Each structure stands twice: as structure tokens, then as C-alpha cells.
Chains A and B, each alone.
Chain A
Amino acid sequence: MATKTKAGPTKYEISINGKTATVVEDTYLLKAVMDAGFNVPTLCHHKDLTPDGTCRLCLCEVETNGKKKLVTACNYPVRSEIKVKTNTEEIKKHRKSLAEMYLGRWPNVETIQNIAKLCGATDKEKYKSDITDENPKACILCGHCVRACSSFMIQDILGFAGRGIKRHLTMPFGDVDPHCVGCTSCGYVCPTGAIQITDEMNNPVDPELIRRHGMKVNAEMATLDKMQNRMREVGTANIVEVMDAYDLLPVHNFKFGKHPDTHKIDSKVMTRDYFTQGAADACWLGCSMACAKAVDGFELKTGPYKGEKVVVDGPEYETAAGGSNMGGFDLDFIVEYNFYCDTYGIDTISFATTIAFVMEAFEAGIITEEHTGGKKLNFGAMDEALECLHEMARGEGFGVEVGQGVRRLKEKWVKELGADPEFLNDIGMEVKGLEFSEYVSKESLAQQAGYAMAIKGPQHDEAWLIFIDMVNNQIPSFDDKAEALYYFPLFRIWFGLLGLCKIVWNDVAPADNSKYPPQEAAKIPEHVENYWKFFEGMTGIPVDEDKMLLQAERVFNLQRLMSYYFGRGTREDDMPPLRAIGPATVEEYLSREERYDKQMKEEIGIDPEGKSAEEKLAITRDHRFKQYNKVIDAAYKRRGWDENGVPTVERLKQIGIDIPEVMALLERPDQ
């Protein structure tokens, strides 16, 4: 019986050779048959490629409402309660004669010989003719390579030309296509060896090992991405609406985590109205994830190129979220500031976070139109924000000050305008002089520490732990958080050292990743292994978790020591602004009053009843800084650093970098 529910997929009970199986609607019959334990011969089918239905070997009999017909199982989607037979006399006859024809044409190809055996075809002579190809590595026209090129690489380099017996594999105009990226996917999926890989660029020690693991990524992108993060379709912007739903999208200088207008800038609007290029256009041609997106023909409304139509690379998630952070819920604005930041060589994140800070200071009356050159810089003042950007590039007016970033603006306004330093420090979203990237970290201690402790400042280069901490609640204790703050930065540093992109680590996951317990699943073990194999395939040196962590830990400690030597890497440099770890203003407290009151009662043990908002804010502030200090204490300890956040001599010895040049970094010239 078919069971249909509001949100769930329809399922059908089908009968396969008399055996009952429950199948989700649109499952291909071949998969259902195989899952039920029956074997059907195939030639053009490949598990990672879209079905083709050309070889006709997978014929099965399907009965609906008493009517029987033969179908190719590999591309027949189950959409009703059918009765299936996989091996009737009629089917066997068909398969046998097909197999005999294949055998007559390609008698020495092993794949064909195996199929022939399975179908009971033994007579090599029956269909022998002048098109018979005795080559054991002949092309059998299975089409795997054509489909791999299009679904793994989003390229259409290979195709078939000619009809009937003249059908053959070719590149456009029968010539070698210069657009071929040399990914070797076609050679990898070719079952006969008709496509040979002859050139191993960069001289890897074991190219096959690299290829095997790389192809796993390709296959996951081709088959799973559309159900997972849709990186090919929308890139990283897929999470704009997700972050809003989880109260994590920065709005108005990180005050809030969601906004009623988010739907105006979410990935649906980007794909519908903006993105025109979906193929790999940027990082490097040949990446099967192809998450970089572009907007073509965008007409600029401001600045030196006003009125011109341009191509814009992006926007990515953080650029869009920078929009919401400035109160700019308008994709025209976001694409425009994206273009000009790229053109001027300005980081979109630093720009957006700085402008958001300026806007809050403007609304709080710390600066006025007198300081901004007449610009009313309230949240949502998009034209004015763009004008600041142009001024910044021209080296004129208020834009010059904005271009100095949050830290220098704070110092300047305290010194020159007598602004309240505590307020500015609370709301100025920077650590170590770098502006925060676009996530609200208030409810995740591990995320706060991962960001604020990061050597180059608050961004996800080292750790992005919001989901495993705040949402999944997988690392509840300080020790758990410290462990995550040990492992993830090291892993991320390690693949950074190899020059490998991390998106293919965690923006797609193997279908069965959930077989691991959650703590392990969070690491996506099979993808970590891919990276180890890339390393081993290239260098010939096998690597495992311990070796990987050691390699990374040496570099990580060296980086920390260098930053210490130059006056940055200690506890005070790891301290976040209040806004990053909790509500910084009464307005913010009241916007999530129920949540904060509940926490006060349950976590701090103080009854909020009868307290003013100011009192409650002060209690929360105090508590959150204490918690933050505890988490970095635990993380320092796990990393083998002292309580000031400086690597200990003992740790440097353990990891084998206690050489004089490194030890000398402990002698800080300013102390």
C-alpha cells in the first residue's frame, strides 16, 4: 500500500520475484532490485553517474494493473505498486542475444566477457563481422566517460558522434579540446582501459591513490550535493536562511541573529535573480565542488563605474551576511558592495563589520553627521555605506577613517571625542585588530573561543564550532570544548599547510557518515582520510591522525610564538568584545529576554524576578566573561600553553621544536 504523508516522501510496497520490498518513490528499479538481493547484468550503468538506459542489459518485467512490459531497470523510477520479475525466459532470451552481439563486436574485452558469461552467451562467432574489434581495451560505447565529464566536472568535453555502427566517442570537432582540465575522471570510470592516463603532472609518488580518493569526492558532489548543501547551485550562500533560522545571522552589528527581511537576500533570491554562472569559475577549473558563483551583466549604480555592466564574483555567505549586519537587506546593494570591495582590494567582511560598528556608533550619538561628512549612517543606510567605500578608495573624507578598521576607530573616538571606552569595546567587533567574520557567537562558548583565540583574529580559519556546541550540544563540558579547540584548529591548519581547500572536507559528507558516533562523525572521518591519502599519494609518506596533529601542532605553536614575540599572542589578545559572547546592551537583552532570564535562573542560579534590565545585563555580562575565561583556561591547558596563553617549554620539547631559534621567540623584546 502506498503511504503518503504531508511532508514525507511516498513509499510503495513492490514485489520483486515474489519478494516484498518497500521502496521510496522515484528510486530507480535497479537499485531496488539489487537492494532486495537480486543480480541483474548491466553495462552502461555506473553507481555514481546518472542513468542512461542505452545498453538494455538490465531489462526487467514490470506489471502494473495486470499489464506487463519490459523496462530498463537502471532508469525506471518506481512510481506505483508494481510486480517485478528480473529473470523470465523472455528476459533471459533478450539478454543472451544482446550479450552475443556485444561479444561478437568486442570479443576480447574483459567486461564484455563477464557480461556474456552472466547472460549465458558463449558463441563469439555468431555476430562476428567487419566491425569486430579484437582490441582487449576497445571502447564499448558505455558512455561512462561522457557522463563523468559532465556530472563530475560540469564539462562537456566528451561526446558520441555518428549513428548505429558508426557511433564513436569523440571530442568537439574530432580534435583535442583545450578546455579539458585533465581531471582524469573519464579514464577512471572507463571499464575497459580505452582511455589511458599517460601524463602524471607534478610527479606524485602514487597517482592512483590520489585519484581513488579524489574520485570519491567527485562522486559525492555528483550524487549527494543536491540533497545536502547545494554547493554547486548556490555556493556558501546556501546558509543565509539557515543562519537566520538558528538565530545566528548577524543583524545590526551582531546585535541580533535574525530579521524579517532575510528572505530578500537569501539563496533562493540569489539563484532566481542573480547567479548566472554555476560552473567552476574561480578557484581552479576542474574542482568538482565548483562553489564559486558569479553574477553577469550587473549594472552598477554608484562609483567610478556607474552605469557599466560588470561581472561580479560572488556573493558568498559572509558577504551576504555582511549586508544584514549593516541592515542592508537588498541584494543589489550586496552585489554592488561585493564588486567594489573586490575592485578596490578591500575585504568584504572587514568592510561590513566596520560599517556596522560605525552605524551603531552613529545611532548611539557617538558620532554625528558632522563627523561623517554629512552622511546619515543609520543601519540600512546603503547609499551612505557605499559612499564610505568609495571615499575609502579615493582616500577622502570620512571613508579614510572607516578604512582604519574597528580597533583604530575605537581608539580615535575615545581620544578625540571622549567616547565611553567600555561601550565601544563592548560593541566593537574585533579581536587582535581584525574584524569578526559574520556569525553570531553569543550562545556558543567554543565558537567564541575558536574565533577570539585564532592567531590571525576572529574568523573560522581555526574552528567553526557553533553547530557541534550550541545546536548539537555535543561538547557540553569545558574539557570537551577544549578537546574540540585542540583538534579542529590543528586539522584545519594541517590542510591549510598542504594548500588544500577545506570546503571538500565538510560541505559534502558521505551518505553513511552517520554510522559514526556523533563526536567522530563531526570530523567526517572518511574525508579526513582523503586528505591523508592525498598527502601520501603526493609524498609517499603515510600519515595518520597522530602524525597529522604533530605536523600541525609544530606549525601552530610556532605561529603562536611568533605572534607572542611581536607583542600579540597572550591572554589579553584572546579576549573578545562583550557583543561576541553575550548581550551588550539593554535593547539586546530585552530582545531575547526569555532566553537570558531562563539562563540566569538555570545556569547562574539567580532569580531574575524583580530585577531591572540593567541589573540583569550586568549579571549576564559578569557570568559570560567568567565562562569565557574558563573555556580558554581549559583550551590553553589542552594545548600545552601556560595560563597566559604562551606555549610552554615542556610542550615545545614534546613536539620536538625546542630548537634555539624557536626558544628565542620566548624572549619578547618588549619585556
Chain B
Amino acid sequence: MIEVNNKEKLDWFEGMTVQDVLDKMGYIYPRITVSVNDQLVNKEDYATYKVPDNARVNVFHLAHGG
């Protein structure tokens, strides 16, 4: 089990990547910053960065306009 933004719980699976977390959460907004256990993850690593079990994942969305 992992926790996203100190709120949502997601079932963990072997090999789970940051991209998997974003897909599961439906996070498609382009201006996000991701950290896994307080470690910043670069955009180009989303698809390869492995999320360990019990991780705290933070996906920070910047506000948009209007």
C-alpha cells in the first residue's frame, strides 16, 4: 500500500513506477512535481522510477490561470 498526497491509498505492486501512480490517480496535468519519500523525481524518470511499498508519494500540482 502506498499513500498519495497524504490522503489517497493505492495498492502497491511489484515494479510499480511513478507513471503507474500518475495513471492510477488520473493525474494528467502537465505542471506537476513528484516526490517519492521526499526524493524529487525528474519528469524523464517517471516511467522508470520504482516506487517502493509503503512509499509516500507527493504529486504537487501548480495552480493554473483563469
Interface residues of A (CB under 8 A from B): 3, 5-9, 11, 24, 227-231, 236, 239, 241-242, 245-246, 291, 317-318, 437, 460, 464-468, 471-474, 476, 502-503, 506-507, 509, 513-514, 518, 521-522, 524
Q: Are B47 and A465 in contact (CB under 8 A)?
A: no
Binding site for A on B (CB under 8 A): 5-7, 19, 26-31, 33, 40, 44-48, 58-66
Q: Min CB distance, A79 to chain B, in Å?
A: 15
If A473-B6, A514-B33 touch, does A506 touch B63 (CB 8 Å cutoff)? yes
Contacts of B27 in A (CB 8 A): 245, 471
Assuming the contacts A227-B30, A521-B33, asked whether A239 and B64 have C-beta atoms less than 8 A apart, the reply is yes
Q: Which residues of A contact B44 (CB under 8 A)?
A: 8-9, 11, 24
A35, chain B: closest CB distance, angstroms:
13
Nearest to B47 among chain A residues (CB) is: A8
Contact A229 B64 (CB under 8 A): yes
Residue numbers in A under 8 Å from B5 (CB-CB): 471-473
Q: Which residues of B contact A245 (CB under 8 A)?
A: 26-28
Query: Roughly how many angstroms separate A236 CA and B23 CA in the complex, as a whole number?
Result: 23
A448 vs chain B, min Cβ distance (A): 16
| Minimal Cβ-Cβ distance residue in A for B65 | A507
| Central interface residue in B6, B30, B61, B63, by most chain A CB within 10 Å | B63
Name 4 extra pairs, CB < 8 A, besides A236-B64, A471-B27: A228-B30, A229-B31, A437-B66, A468-B63
Q: With the chains together, A472 CA to B47 CA distance in Å?
A: 21
| Closest chain A CB from B9 CB (angstroms) | 11
Complex interface: chain B residues within 8 A of A471 (CB): 5, 27, 59, 61
Partner of B59, one of A228, A317, A472: A472
What A residues does B66 contact at CB under 8 A?
A: 236, 317-318, 437, 460, 464
Report the number of A-B residue pairs with Cβ-Cβ less than 8 Å.
95
CB-based nearest B residue for A505: B65
B61: chain A residues within 8 A (beta carbon)? 467-468, 471-472
Given contacts A8-B46, A229-B30, A521-B33, contact A465 B63 (CB under 8 A): yes
Q: Is the CB of A228 within 8 A of B47?
A: no
Q: List 7 A-B contacts (CB under 8 A).
A: A8-B44, A227-B30, A229-B30, A437-B66, A464-B66, A509-B62, A522-B60
Min distance, Cβ A202 to any Cβ of chain B, angstroms = 26
Determine the distance from Cα of A231 to Cα of B44 in the docked complex, in whole angstroms. Answer: 22
Give the nearest-CB partner of A24 in chain B.
B44
- The docked-state distance in angstroms from the alpha carbon of A245 to that of B27 is 7
**B26 and A464 within 8 A (CB):** no
